[in-house]
DNA sequence: CGTTTTTGACCCGCGC
DNA sequence: GCGCGGGTCAAAAACG
């Protein structure tokens, strides 16, 4: 009888809270904004120093550092210039000003001046600048200098200064130009170097992936055997989020719709019975199952069947759609509450005893919007497993944004991985290890299950060593000391990181979601789909994702928000491997706090996903 | 009084 | 074809 309110409220666990509270304020406040602004904008907005740091972090290892250095040099020069002559100063100031604009990050600003400069100057460079953000940055900076220089010259000429000054200025300009040219050339070289490094990096990653796959195949075995039909380069496909999105639907709406469909009702897939309202007509053979109700408003009956969607379809699109419908994101966290406080309003519409599990499974539906397809089923008392399906079809409150973002991102990740590669397992591990190398155990992807599912296990604590392995990624973003991230919090963060990374990736790809928390945060997917389709190289994706994780301030905020919401009721506890879920549960049973309060008696260990041995 | 939760029944798909 | 299990509906009850 305790109403669902419990889910909404954030309960702080004494233990967990300790660390998180510090973050809370910041997180909650900042997160929304963060989301709103595109990643690039952030960079631009941030001070030069920050941006530099960020950038350095973002980019792959050695490559990115170059640009930064260049900038620094320039800045120093400027400072010096100021001191000197009175006459020069004005010019210099201009230069310095200009130079400041040169800041690589500036290009993200959409600065009008820059735009103008760019147009004048070096279309070539710009054009040459591949989609790759880094390259663009580099080029831009150079361009600005060049352009500015010329502009300054004209300005000087116009000026009333004496001949001496004029000459001096000209000579200086000439010097500067020469320097600019030199830098330009250097920039090009660096660019080439970057390209090489990137290519090498990608190649290595491919190799790594291949190796991982081999390992994975051994471990997880071949749950997925059947799926491998399409083969292609797994890694590559995997990375291609765009592909997934693209397939999902060209339009934003479409994506959301399709997604929702999938998620929609119970299982997206099922549908058979229902209306065929939408009819997917078409196409894709499997669609039938999917019930595409694009509007998911009616809860209807779709009941479901899972299996249909087998990924064999030859068409990538088909696969994608099918997968999308089925995709699920499970979040496991220790919580005394019956539900996780993720900022959304959930209404319980059903409960059922799961086979083999002593505890009932509860079904919730998002009540924030009539048609919201997102649903979750909570299980377990101590370990609360929340499975999200579909995307919200309405604006989300800030508090809910983090989780939604995470889940949607994770879902996309999953989809992109399972779909493209066709080989679920590989991707799963790949993601877990590549994206979350430090916590492979924290993120589990189950392609074998009827529904591809990404399980984010917040109940686990990554080993310190693991965390240390990627200090950059985690530490950099956080304003607060990494210490806070330790243990439980770290565990909580990982999932978010995973999701956010993907999320950012999509952004970087060019899309920017409605950051405003707009109605469909998720809706952005569709947009991203469109644009993403254009981009995407494995390398880019990986690099971007990795960099984004570390660099994007928003990410930090998002993590904090997510943690706050997630951990509100979470308990810290022992390290449990996913496999141990049941064991953990049993232990937890003693707690039983939740049970008493709620008739729901949620509880139990069983996880819907195949990954977890149910019983 | 309105909203939410509870709970039994029903629907549907899948496996045998 | 039957049984099982997952998922949902909807009336009744409980809660604020």
Q: Which of A175-179, A340-344, A399-403 is most confident?
A: A175-179
Distance, CA of A23 to chain centre = 20
DSSP string covering A232-277: S-HHHHHH-HHHHHHHH-SSHHHHHHHHHHHHSSS-TT--TTS--S
Which pTM does this prediction carry? 0.36
The per-residue pLDDT for A188 is: 81
Residue A570 contacts residue A492 (beta carbons within 8 Å): yes
**Nearest nucleic acid nucleotide to A365, CA to C1' distance:** C8
Question: Which of chain B's bases lie under 7 Å from a protein CB?
Answer: 4-9, 11-15
Tokens of A463: 């080993």
pLDDT band at A396 (very low <50, low <70, confident <90, very high): confident
The per-residue pLDDT for A373 is: 61
What does the pLDDT average to over A355-375? 71
Query: Given CA atoms A47, A49, A50, A51 in this order, what sign does their dihedral have?
Result: positive
- A465-513 pLDDT tens trace: 343 333 333 233 333 333 333 333 333 344 444 444 434 433 333 333 3
Tokens of A86: 């009175």
- A257-286 pLDDT tens trace: 333 333 333 333 333 333 333 333 333 333
Residue A390 contacts residue A373 (beta carbons within 8 Å): yes
pLDDT band at A210 (very low <50, low <70, confident <90, very high): low
Q: Smallest Cα–Cα separation from A139: which of A126, A127, A149?
A: A126
> Bridge partners of A360?
A353
- The separation between the first and the last C-alpha atoms of chain A, rounded to the nearest angstrom, is 29
**Nearest nucleic acid nucleotide to A598, CA to C1' distance:** B5
Choose between A480 and A206: higher pLDDT: A206
Choose between A350 and A229: higher pLDDT: A350
The per-residue pLDDT for A357 is: 67
Distance A267 CA to B13 C1' (A): 12
The per-residue pLDDT for A165 is: 74
Spatial separation of the C-alpha atoms in residues A98 and A102, rounded to whole Å: 6
Order across the sheet with A383-389: list the strands.
Answer: A346-353, A360-366, A375-379, A383-389, A328-334, A453-457, A443-446
Average pLDDT, chain A: 45
Pairing of strands A375-379, A383-389: antiparallel
**Nearest nucleic acid nucleotide to A347, CA to C1' distance:** B4
Residue A130's region, left for phi above 0, alpha for psi from -120 to 50, else beta, is beta
Pairing of strands A360-366, A328-334: unpaired
Cβ neighbours, 10 Å, residue A613: 14
The per-residue pLDDT for A363 is: 83
Query: H or E stretch including A348?
Result: strand A346-353
Question: Which of chain C's bases lie under 7 Å from a protein CB?
Answer: 4-10, 14-16
- A539-558 pLDDT tens trace: 344 334 434 443 443 444 44
CA distances from A271 to A175, A301, A315, A349 (A): 71, 8, 21, 19
The per-residue pLDDT for A398 is: 72
Percent of chain A with pLDDT over 90: 0
- A313-361 pLDDT tens trace: 334 444 444 444 456 777 776 666 656 566 777 788 888 877 666 677 8
- A127-154 pLDDT tens trace: 333 333 333 333 333 333 333 333 333 3
Footprint of strand C on the protein (CB under 7 A): A 1-3, 265-267, 298-304, 349-352, 354-355, 361, 363, 375, 377, 608
Choose between A21 and A228: higher pLDDT: A228
Q: Smallest Cα–Cα separation from A528: which of A384, A408, A352?
A: A408
- Of A7-16, A52-61, A196-205, A406-415, give the lowest mean pLDDT range: A7-16
Distance A537 CA to C7 C1' (A): 40
Residue A406 contacts residue A456 (beta carbons within 8 Å): yes
Output phi, psi for A393, to 5 deg.
-105, 25
DSSP string covering A570-603: B-------GGGHHHHHHHHHTT-HHHHH-TT---
Residue A149 contacts residue A176 (beta carbons within 8 Å): yes
Nearest 5 degrees, angle CA A221-CA A222-CA A223?
105
> Bridge partners of A403?
none
The per-residue pLDDT for A353 is: 77
Q: Which of A21-35, A75-89, A468-482 is most confident?
A: A75-89
Residue A610 contacts residue A223 (beta carbons within 8 Å): yes
Spatial separation of the C-alpha atoms in residues A307 and A325, rounded to whole Å: 12
Choose between A380 and A152: higher pLDDT: A380
CA distances from A349 to A22, A191, A244, A375, A378 (A): 36, 57, 31, 10, 12
**Nearest nucleic acid nucleotide to A7, CA to C1' distance:** B4
Tokens of A345: 């309003």
Residue A364 pLDDT > 80, yes or no? yes
pLDDT band at A194 (very low <50, low <70, confident <90, very high): confident
Residue A205 pLDDT > 50, yes or no? yes
Distance A411 CA to B13 C1' (A): 24
> Bridge partners of A329?
A388, A454
The per-residue pLDDT for A204 is: 73
Residue A606 pLDDT > 70, yes or no? no
């Amino acid at each position: 009888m305790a109403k669902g309110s419990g889910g909404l409220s954030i309960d702080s666990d004494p233990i967990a809270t300790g660390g998180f509270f510090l973050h809370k304020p910041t997180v909650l406040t900042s997160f929304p904004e963060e989301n709103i602004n595109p990643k690039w904008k952030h960079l631009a907005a941030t001070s030069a120093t920050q941006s530099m740091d960020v950038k350095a972090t973002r980019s792959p290892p050695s490559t990115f550092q170059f640009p930064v250095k260049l900038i620094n040099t320039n800045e120093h020069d400027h400072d010096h210039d100021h001191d000197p002559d009175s006459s020069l100063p004005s010019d210099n100031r201009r230069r310095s000003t200009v130079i400041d604009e040169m800041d690589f990050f500036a290009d993200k600003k959409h600065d009008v001046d820059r735009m103008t400069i760019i147009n004048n100057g070096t279309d070539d460079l710009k054009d040459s600048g591949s989609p790759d953000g880094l390259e663009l940055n580099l080029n831009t900076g150079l361009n600005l200098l060049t352009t500015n220089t010329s502009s300054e010259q004209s300005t000087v000429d116009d000026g009333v200064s004496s001949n001496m000054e004029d000459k001096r200025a000209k000579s200086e300009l000439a010097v500067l130009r020469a320097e600019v040219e030199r830098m330009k050339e250097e920039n090009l070289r660096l660019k080439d170097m970057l390209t090489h490094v990137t290519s090498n990096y990608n190649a290595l990653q491919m190799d790594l992936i291949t190796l991982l796959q081999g390992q994975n195949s051994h471990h997880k075995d071949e749950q997925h055997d059947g799926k491998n039909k399409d083969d292609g380069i797994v890694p590559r496909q995997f990375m291609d989020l765009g592909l997934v999105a693209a397939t999902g639907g060209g339009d934003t709406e479409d994506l959301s719709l399709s997604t929702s469909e999938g998620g929609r009702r119970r299982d997206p897939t099922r549908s058979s019975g229902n209306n065929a309202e939408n009819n997917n007509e078409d196409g894709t053979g499997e669609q039938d199952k999917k019930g595409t109700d694009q509007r998911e408003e009616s809860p209807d009956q779709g009941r479901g069947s899972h299996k249909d969607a087998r990924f064999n379809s030859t068409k990538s699109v088909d696969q994608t759609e099918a997968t999308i419908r089925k995709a699920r994101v499970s979040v496991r966290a220790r919580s005394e509450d019956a539900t996780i406080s993720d900022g959304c309003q959930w209404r319980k519409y059903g409960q059922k005893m799961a086979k083999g599990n002593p505890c009932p499974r509860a079904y919730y539906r998002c009540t924030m919007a009539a048609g919201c397809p997102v649903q979750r089923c909570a299980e377990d008392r101590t370990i609360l497993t929340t499975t999200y399906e579909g995307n919200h079809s309405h604006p989300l409150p800030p508090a809910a944004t983090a989780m939604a973002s995470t889940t949607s991102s994770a879902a996309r990740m999953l989809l992109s991985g399972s779909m493209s590669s066709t080989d679920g397992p590989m991707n799963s591990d790949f993601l877990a290890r590549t994206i979350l190398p430090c916590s492979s155990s924290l993120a589990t992807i189950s392609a074998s299950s009827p529904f591809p599912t990404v399980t984010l296990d917040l109940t686990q604590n990554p080993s310190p060593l693991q965390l240390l392995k990627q200090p950059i990624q985690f530490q950099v973003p956080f304003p607060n000391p990494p210490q806070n991230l330790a243990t439980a919090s770290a565990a909580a963060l990982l999932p978010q990181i995973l999701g956010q990374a993907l999320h950012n990736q999509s952004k970087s790809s060019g899309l920017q979601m409605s950051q405003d928390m707009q109605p469909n945060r998720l809706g952005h997917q569709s947009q991203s789909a469109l644009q993403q389709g254009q981009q995407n190289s494995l390398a880019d994706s990986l690099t971007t994702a990795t960099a984004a994780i570390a660099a994007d301030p928003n990410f930090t905020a998002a993590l904090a928000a997510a943690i706050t919401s997630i951990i509100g009721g979470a308990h810290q506890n022992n390290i449990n491997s996913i496999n141990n879920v049941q064991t953990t549960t049993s232990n937890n049973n003693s707690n039983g706090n939740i049970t008493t309060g709620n008739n729901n008696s949620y509880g139990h260990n069983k996880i819907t996903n195949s990954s977890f041995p149910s019983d």
